[in-house]
Amino acid sequence: MACRIINKRRHVGLQQLSSFAETGRAFLGPVKSSKFITDEGCHKSVLVSSTVRLLESLDTTSAVGQLLNEAVQAQNDTYRTGATTLLFLAGAWSRAVEECLHLGVPIPIIVSVMSEGLNSCSEEVVSLQVPVHNIFDHMDSTEAVSGLETVSGSSLPQDLSEAISVPEKQDLKDDVPQLATYSLSEKPGKSPKFFKPQATVEAGKNTSQTLKNLHTDTCFRKSVLIHSRHFKRTDNNQGICTPNRFLEQCGAATFQTYGCRDLVELAVGLSHGDGSSMQLVEAAVRLQYQNACMQPGSRAAPFMFDISRLFTFCLPGLPETFSCVCPGYITLVSISSAAMIQELQNRPIRVVLIEGDLTESYRHLGFNKSTHIKTVLDGVKLQEDSSEELWANHVLQLLIKFSVNLILVEGNVSEHLIEKCRHRNQLIIGSVNGRVMQTFAEATGAVQVAYITQVNEDCVGSGVSVTFWRNPLDDLDRSNRMAILLKTEGISMITAVLTSPVRAQMQTKEDRFWTCAYRVHHALKEEKVFLGGSAVEFLCLSHLHILAEQPLQKGDHACLGRLHDTSSWLASSLASYRPTVLKCLADGWHRYLSALLCNTATYSSELEASTFVQHHVQNAVDSGCPSAYILKEYNKLNSGIFNLGISNKPEQIPRVYDVVTPKIEAWRRALDLVLLVLQTDTEIITGLGHTQINSQKLEGCLFL
Amino acid sequence: MMSCLEAKKPSLCHREPLTAEKVRTTLAVLKGVLTSCYGPFGRLKQLHNGVGGSVCTTSQSAVLLRNLSVTHPVLKVLIASVQNHVSCFSDCGLFTAILCCNLIENVQKTNLATATAIKLNKRLLNFCTNYLRSESCGCRIPVDFSSTQILLCLVRSVLTSKPACMLTRKEVDHISTLILRAFLFTIPESTKNPIILGKSIIISLKGPRVTDSTVLPGVLIEIPEIQLMKTLPVRKSSALKVALFSTSLSGDFSDPGEGSVVVSYRVSLENAVLDQLINLGRQLVSDHVDLVLCQKVMHPSLKRFLRTHHIIAIDRVGVTPIEPLSKATGAQPIGSLGPVSPSSYGSVKDWHSAQFGCKHFFHLIPNEAPVCTLLLCNRNDTVADELKLACQTALHVLQLTVKEPWVLLGGGCTETHLAACIRHTTHKEPGNILQGEGCTQAELQLIAEAFCSALESLAGSLEHDGGEILTDMKHGHFWSMQAGLPSVVNWPDLLSQCGCGVYSSQEELSWSVLRNTCHPFAPQTCIPHEALEINQQPARGLIVDCLTAKLSGLQVAVETANLILDLAYVIEDKN
């Protein structure tokens, strides 16, 4: 057993963490660059374009690598999104922590202040949440139109009328003339087009110029805010208010942004540059919604997007245009079954669901076969057929008895049996996903059984229809298999068919589809989204800068974070180190934003991007209320900070959204990981004889 | 057949193992590893096998010692006795191990005859135990079970001393309350003698946030979602009859061992066993059982048979919940396929299906039995394991406190206070300790100094970031201060409170640096009532330790140190 001290002068663990994280930098943001990973041993290579796949292919056997992998996997298993954010922030923050160590900040203080800082950020970003309500209320009306036009078409007029009506309702004394002059002088007489300047670059510049000129004026800042609905809601007269009151308001979570009320808008906002996958997801949600509406009693319960009923089916080789979603289950069967499918088409068939394998020798899990059993013959004539043959005949008889034509099996199926059944128009499909089985059980009334001998009339489901997915001769792949579609009346299952001419891209495509699907799932489930395009991260960054400036209140226990022991000198000297640590934490966000801007090719160099971020942070901090600044900038298209690489045609720029909990959890996990590594000072390698560790690794090891 | 005979190698014999340089260095390495883990600001250790196995991040002695594979017998003795202590008391493992290492080191430096040193160590240990158990003890607080204050402090102290749990203050408060509630659930309502505490099961759930953790009465059994959907039959308003099987109902036959079973063709053993299972099922049906729980696998046919008779059948419960289940339902685990005796059945009040995070549970609610489940959520795998262990320790410590309703002051104060007491007594009344043992006062002074500095450097191990440790000259408590400050500072302003939180710096105290040998003084015995009253405010919690665990730790440490010091020869069998 050996142990190695890992933080002598420079913390090795943190260094490892930041170098691991560096590998995932290219995956940050909507513009992702893929990577080829080549195995030098067997000369195989894989194309990866997501953090999860990257870590799967990297050698992460070192302790820190393992912990990182574990954290990313846990995030991915729970949310299916946010892995890249986690990876990058883990790297950025481990550098920030190294910086703190370099400055001589005691470790417990780093741990405490950083976790307090992130907590405070998570509370602060609530103000950038956008409610997602009643998204399915006007589903029918928007059904016909799809695509990007709907975004600007459906959401803006409503907001505009509200925004415009604000001054009248508010009855602002001194501000009204000023505001009115401002707004009307821009586009006199055409009030519904008030916000249109945003749609054209030139006018947008104009506005922002005006805004910047008046920026220092407190009164004006208020009038900008009037465009948000927040001011309509508050009943008290805005009049002339002091900057303090203003701060109070923006500090609280009263900032109501417009809310997202349309599925198209939501989907486009969450697509993060992957429109094609998102269109499929959107179509799947619509299908499921329609399906739910048709169910009896559907009005009683509000519609929930059930992602567990969504499946993917990958068909490499076909052009991308063949991607689609359809209700039911799609799978591949051998081409030799074509005749049988032809026969079974257009009539309801009966189905049996088998939980395990469908072979003669299969026994249920947990059954131990005894090996010491000998069978002897005592004068009885042995039947000629083998036991396999006997069993297959027995199965056939059962299937005929209950007139079953379809068997779905979770495990493997005996080839011999498939062959036999094919001649009798009985289709057996093996390796079916457990959730698919469950859905079929619900839709057909079938009961899953472990052994086919358990089947009786109550177990058989009915009403399944089988068809070719497309013309059978069109999509033959090399293995001579074809896709068929199984469905029943009102089945809630939806399969997304993903096609790609490039086989290597298939995995990426599937991953991206699921990422999009889960984003929509989380947004609908939580009924809220964040304003995206890194607005949230920007707010965190500015908020931390403000927090660092604020003096610490005496006796304020919340700021002690994880410093539980208040009697220690660390608690009393916390205040002096706090600004440094908070700034280092903010640097992590800064790196994140710069890398993001760099990746979207808005800026050629990291330095340029960093300067740009710096400039905006300064503005936001100076404004006294970063969230107001962000909301204002957000509505300006040419400001560039929150509109990254979605489209370069201004009139098509929709809002960008982000999921809430997965994002915050990714931050938390990243910081927890960094702090866990930071607090670790020794690596103990167990269970190995000294000789088995190679001498290179042994450097700096102590032995017990 | 050929056999090869080899001459036996002679055994190796090492004289006075402690004098060997190698032993000293490994002991120092071990001490270094353990010391750096100690206390709320302790550093963590990454344990892994170096070839890609799972990584465990911990600072708890139970995990560390379990994974340390040491070669030298001296270290083996040390680790084994600490592990033994931890398995009995859960808490104070690092305390024991570090104190033992310190004692060995300090006593060796004195160059006294081992026998004398051992004898005096025993005397000093006696003195400490007597003092800690006496009424006049100045570092002990009675536990008032009518309020939760001290108990919560105790739980909180256990949790905060494990930094790898990564809990924020709010989370510590939440988890402490849950632990205390779980503990209270295990106290039976009836006051029959003897009172037997119930069981609390801890289930770790990876994914949700820590603040989503909760305590539920009864037992939770994790089951796959699909199975849950199938098991939702009718609900009964009255109590449910439960049968609990610890044997496998999967339909396999018992292993014949070395021999083999010969059966004639056309006889199917599988069918025979299945028939027996169905017979068992029939009996369960006729006995009006409502719920069948099986530790192992149930044959699918039996399951379906039971289900068609509206009996809920749950298999693969696992071995851990069996005992709590038996306690909660009153059912006796059934170990055979033969006829079931009616006395084996138990009953429960109700059941629910529950979902936490992405997992589904079958929740059994007992009639009255003191059984509960603590559901601990955590984002991170390593942290979840650490937290689970910390909670188990806290629950155990609470149980120990019921037996001995006292707590010791934590945060290093007990150690410094004890050291001050020993110094004072050896100085003023050495006879009290010597009691005619035939040792000189000088010898006593030497060993007492070794013993006290072992205690004090143990308290000093709480500091990992270069701070200075002080002790006050009135109570002998532990104070921490930033190092390298100019000497002309107003100490009461710089220090806020002592390590355990009982005394505040504004009480006109005088301090001295702990490392410097100070003039012996009589630390104040008996904690003034007011000091405790002030500190009952929720904002300022006390740091307290379990008396039973700490006393045992002290004893184990001194006795193990004596044993190791006494080692004259190590005889090693090389064969």
Domain of B355: which CATH number?
Answer: 3.50.7.10
Q: Do B467 and A568 touch (CB under 8 A)?
A: yes
Closest-CA residue in chain B for A686? Answer: B49
The predicted structure's pLDDT at residue B273: 87
Please name which of B494, B522, B524 lies closest in space to residue B506, comparing C-alpha atoms. B494
- Which tops the pLDDT comparison, A326 or B518? A326
Q: Do A67 and B164 touch (CB under 8 A)?
A: no
Q: Do A451 and B301 touch (CB under 8 A)?
A: yes
Alpha-carbon span B562 to B114, nearest angstrom? 9
Q: What phi-psi label fits residue B350: left (phi over 0), alpha (psi between -120 and 50 degrees) or beta?
A: beta
Co-location of A450 and A467 in the same domain: yes
The predicted structure's pLDDT at residue B59: 94
CA distances B264 to A364, B269, B273, Å, are 24, 10, 16
Is a pLDDT exceeding 70 seen at residue A167?
Answer: no
Domain of A61: which CATH number?
Answer: 1.10.560.10
Query: Is B148 contained in some domain?
Result: no
Which residues in chain B have Cβ-Cβ distances shorter than 8 Å to A702? 29
Query: Is A697 contained in some domain?
Result: no
Which of B26, B51, B57 faces A676 most closely, judged by CB atoms? B57
Which residues in chain A have Cβ-Cβ distances shorter than 8 Å to B52? 61, 66
Residue where one domain finishes, among candidates A495, A526, A557: A526
Q: Do A682 and B167 touch (CB under 8 A)?
A: no
Query: Is B454 contained in some domain?
Result: yes
Co-location of A439 and A493 in the same domain: yes
Closest-CA residue in chain A for B316? Answer: A366
Res. A10 pLDDT band, cuts 50 70 90: confident
- Shortest Cα distance, chain A CAs vs residue B22, angstroms: 10
Co-location of A74 and A145 in the same domain: no
Residue where one domain finishes, among candidates A466, A491, A526: A526
Is a pLDDT exceeding 80 seen at residue A160?
Answer: no
The predicted structure's pLDDT at residue A383: 59
Co-location of B81 and B129 in the same domain: yes
The predicted structure's pLDDT at residue A517: 95
Co-location of B195 and B72 in the same domain: no
Co-location of A522 and A535 in the same domain: no
**pLDDT (tens digit per residue) in A74-100:** 899 889 999 999 999 999 999 999 999
Co-location of A401 and A515 in the same domain: yes
- Shortest Cα distance, chain A CAs vs residue B194, angstroms: 39
Count the domains in chain B: 3
**Which of A29-43, B208-222, B323-337, B530-544 is predicted least confidently?**
B530-544
Which of A61, A669, A681 faces B36 most closely, judged by CB atoms? A681
Tell me the HSE value of B327 on the side-chain side, using a 13 A CA sphere.
Answer: 21
Co-location of B339 and B250 in the same domain: yes
The predicted structure's pLDDT at residue A224: 30
**pLDDT (tens digit per residue) in B122-164:** 999 999 999 999 988 888 999 988 888 889 999 999 999 999 9
Query: Is B147 contained in some domain?
Result: no
DSSP structure class, residue A457: G
Q: Do A685 and B168 touch (CB under 8 A)?
A: no
Alpha-carbon span B114 to B122, nearest angstrom? 12
Count the domains in chain A: 3
Co-location of B385 and B364 in the same domain: no
pTM score, whole prediction? 0.84
Query: Is B309 contained in some domain?
Result: yes
Domain containing A126 equals 2-132+531-685
The predicted structure's pLDDT at residue A230: 34
Q: Do A438 and B52 touch (CB under 8 A)?
A: no
CB B219 within 8 A of CB B373: yes
The DSSP element (H or E) to which A63 belongs, if any, is helix A63-79
Which residues in chain B have Cβ-Cβ distances shorter than 8 Å to A368? 250, 252, 255
Query: Is A370 contained in some domain?
Result: no
Amino acid, res. A689:
G
CB B17 within 8 A of CB B73: yes
DSSP structure class, residue A600: T
Res. A228 pLDDT band, cuts 50 70 90: very low
The predicted structure's pLDDT at residue A626: 85
Which of B45, B207, B496 faces A682 most closely, judged by CB atoms? B45
Alpha-carbon span B252 to A500, nearest angstrom? 48
Is a pLDDT exceeding 80 seen at residue A144?
Answer: no
- Shortest Cα distance, chain B CAs vs residue A428, angstroms: 21
DSSP structure class, residue A556: -
The predicted structure's pLDDT at residue A280: 94
Co-location of A332 and A442 in the same domain: yes
Which residues in chain B have Cβ-Cβ distances shorter than 8 Å to A569? 467-468, 480-482, 495
- Shortest Cα distance, chain B CAs vs residue A592, angstroms: 23
Query: Is A691 contained in some domain?
Result: no
Co-location of B174 and B114 in the same domain: no
Co-location of A96 and A227 in the same domain: no
Co-location of B433 and B557 in the same domain: yes
Which residues in chain B have Cβ-Cβ distances shorter than 8 Å to A562? 163, 166-169
Co-location of A301 and A237 in the same domain: no
The Cα angle at residue B568 between residues B563 and B571, in degrees rounded to 5:
105
Instruction: State CA B358 to chain mean position distance.
Output: 29
Query: Is A123 contained in some domain?
Result: yes
Which of A67, A364, A369 faces B300 most closely, judged by CB atoms? A364
Query: Is A655 contained in some domain?
Result: yes
Q: Do A569 and B482 touch (CB under 8 A)?
A: yes
Residue with tokens 């790196």: A591
Co-location of B399 and B413 in the same domain: no
Is a pLDDT exceeding 80 seen at residue A227?
Answer: no
Co-location of A15 and A84 in the same domain: yes
DSSP string, B449-482: HHHHHHHHHHHHTT--SS-EEEEETTT--EEEE-
- Shortest Cα distance, chain A CAs vs residue B316, angstroms: 9
Co-location of A322 and A440 in the same domain: yes
- Shortest Cα distance, chain B CAs vs residue A454, angstroms: 7
Co-location of B416 and B395 in the same domain: no
Query: Is B186 contained in some domain?
Result: yes
DSSP structure class, residue A367: P
Query: Is A639 contained in some domain?
Result: yes
Domain of B127: which CATH number?
Answer: 1.10.560.10
Residue with tokens 């003795």: B77
Write the CB contacts of A299 (distance below 8 Å, at least 6 apart in sequence). none
Query: Is A288 contained in some domain?
Result: no
**pLDDT (tens digit per residue) in B490-535:** 778 788 888 888 888 887 788 888 877 667 888 887 777 766 665 5
**pLDDT (tens digit per residue) in B182-205:** 999 998 887 777 888 888 999 998
For B190-208, letters b (16+ CB in 10 Å) and e give: eeeeeeeebbbbbbbbbbb
Closest-CA residue in chain B for A697? Answer: B50
- Which tops the pLDDT comparison, B120 or A655? B120
Residue where one domain finishes, among candidates A259, A284, A311: A259
Q: Length of chain B in residues, anyone?
A: 575
Give me A148's structure tokens: 């990007």
Res. A210 pLDDT band, cuts 50 70 90: very low
Co-location of B400 and B413 in the same domain: no
Is a pLDDT exceeding 90 seen at residue B283?
Answer: yes
Co-location of B97 and B186 in the same domain: no
Q: Which range has highest mean pLDDT (A137-146, A260-269, B385-394, B522-531)?
A: B385-394
Closest-CA residue in chain A for B34? Answer: A682
Res. B227 pLDDT band, cuts 50 70 90: low
Alpha-carbon span A72 to A536, nearest angstrom? 21
Alpha-carbon span B389 to B383, nearest angstrom? 10
What mean pLDDT do residues A507-526 have? 92
Is a pLDDT exceeding 50 seen at residue A189?
Answer: no
The predicted structure's pLDDT at residue B181: 95
| Average model confidence (pLDDT) across chain A | 75
Domain containing B294 equals 219-255+267-368
- Shortest Cα distance, chain A CAs vs residue B54, angstroms: 7
Co-location of B179 and B71 in the same domain: no
Co-location of A160 and A123 in the same domain: no
Query: Is A397 contained in some domain?
Result: yes
Which residues in chain A have Cβ-Cβ distances shorter than 8 Å to B266? 380
Co-location of B422 and B565 in the same domain: yes
Tell me the HSE value of B438 on the side-chain side, using a 13 A CA sphere.
Answer: 3
Is a pLDDT exceeding 70 seen at residue A653?
Answer: no
For helices A535-549 and A626-634, what crossing angle results, to 10°?
160
Query: Is B492 contained in some domain?
Result: yes
Alpha-carbon span A319 to A330, nearest angstrom? 18
Is a pLDDT exceeding 70 seen at residue A170?
Answer: no
Which residues in chain A have Cβ-Cβ distances shorter than 8 Å to B71? 704
CB A563 within 8 A of CB A106: no
Write the CB contacts of A26 (distance below 8 Å, at least 6 apart in sequence). A32, A33, A35, A599
Which of B46, B156, B466 faces A684 most closely, judged by CB atoms? B46
Is a pLDDT exceeding 70 seen at residue A470?
Answer: yes
Give me A656's structure tokens: 């960008």
Give me A183's structure tokens: 């707004």
Query: Is B7 contained in some domain?
Result: no
Which of A375, A451, A685 faces B50 most closely, judged by CB atoms? A685
Which of A107, A555, A684 faces B47 most closely, judged by CB atoms? A684
**Which of A368-377, A407-416, B103-112, B372-381 is predicted least confidently?**
A368-377
Is a pLDDT exceeding 90 seen at residue B550?
Answer: yes
Please name which of A532, A246, A684 lies closest in space to residue B29, comparing C-alpha atoms. A684
Contacts made by residues B156-159, CB under 8 angstroms, sequence distance 24+: B156/A564, B156/B541, B157/B410, B157/B543, B157/B544, B157/B545, B158/B91, B158/B390, B158/B393, B158/B394, B158/B397, B159/B390, B159/B391, B159/B394
Q: Do B381 and A74 touch (CB under 8 A)?
A: yes
Which residues in chain A have Cβ-Cβ distances shorter than 8 Å to B169? 557-558, 560-562, 564
| Strands (DSSP E) found in B357-509 | 359-365, 371-378, 406-409, 468-472, 478-481
The predicted structure's pLDDT at residue A390: 86
Query: Is B154 contained in some domain?
Result: no
- Shortest Cα distance, chain A CAs vs residue B297, angstroms: 6
What mean pLDDT do residues B276-288 have? 93
Co-location of A648 and A556 in the same domain: yes
Which of A3, A74, A374 faces B260 most closely, judged by CB atoms? A374
Q: Do B46 and A107 touch (CB under 8 A)?
A: no
- Shortest Cα distance, chain A CAs vs residue B445, angstroms: 32
Percent of chain A past pLDDT 90, that is, above it, reads 29
Which residues in chain B have Cβ-Cβ distances shorter than 8 Å to A367? 250-252, 297, 299
Instruction: Choose from B34, B169, B254, B482 for mutation: most chain A CBs within 10 A.
Output: B169
Q: Do B47 and A566 touch (CB under 8 A)?
A: no
The predicted structure's pLDDT at residue B451: 95
Which of A108, A355, A682 faces B33 most closely, judged by CB atoms? A682
Closest-CA residue in chain B for A693? Answer: B50
- Which tops the pLDDT comparison, B551 or B193? B551
